[in-house]
Amino acid sequence: MADGLDSLTAMRAKSSASRRTMPPPRHQPRRTPVDIPGSASPPAVAPQPPPQTPPAPAPPTTAGTDLTKVSIYLDDTTDAYLETVRAAARATKPRVDATRSAVVRFALNRLAEQLAAAEVVAELQRSAAAHNGPGRKRA
């Protein structure tokens, strides 16, 4: 019976002879050096500033830029409206990514500008259905 190391060495020698070689390059090398970030040597050619493009309109920002993940529950009508807004945003130039979260944030900011917290609670109390049942059984 052959030694395991001998057979492993034979397999490696056999496979190295049949390995594919790297094909020749398709394109000529660059004539000007490229600046590599983090390299110690300064670039030979001063980098050209990027062409000036008009800045894209930034979405309105609020005081808090950190987003918090929360769950909301929507009825079918509200969900269909959010989908309609998203589809309309895709058809505009320049395109706006009107996600459901972005539309809800916009609506809440608009609501906060128009109504105080007590007014929102009073409106919810007016539109809430009367609660008649005993509620959920607790253990």
Question: 70-106 pLDDT, tens per residue?
Answer: 888 989 999 999 999 998 888 888 888 888 999 999 9
Structure tokens at 56: 């894209």
> How far apart are the two ends of the chain, measured CA to CA in Å?
72
Task: With H, G, I as helix, E, B as strand and everything else as coil, classify residue 56.
Answer: coil
pLDDT at 17: 53
User: What is the percent of the chain where pLDDT is above 90?
Assistant: 19
DSSP string over 10-68: HHHHHHHHTPPPPPPPSSPPPSS--PPTT-SSPPSSPPPPPPP-PPPPPPPP-S-----
Domain spans, the chain? 73-128
pTM over 0.75: no
Question: 96-132 pLDDT, tens per residue?
Answer: 888 899 999 999 999 999 999 999 998 888 887 766 7
For residues 70 and 67, give the distance between their C-alpha atoms in angstroms, rounded to a whole number: 9
For residues 9 and 48, give the distance between their C-alpha atoms in angstroms, rounded to a whole number: 54
Q: Averaged over 40-48, what is the pLDDT?
A: 52
For residue 26, give the DSSP letter: S
Q: Averaged over 22-49, what is the pLDDT?
A: 70
Peptide bond into 94 cis (omega under 30): yes
**pLDDT score of 47 more than 80:** no
For residues 111 and 29, give the distance between their C-alpha atoms in angstroms, rounded to a whole number: 60
Cβ atoms 110, 78 nearer than 8 A: no
**pLDDT score of 2 more than 80:** no
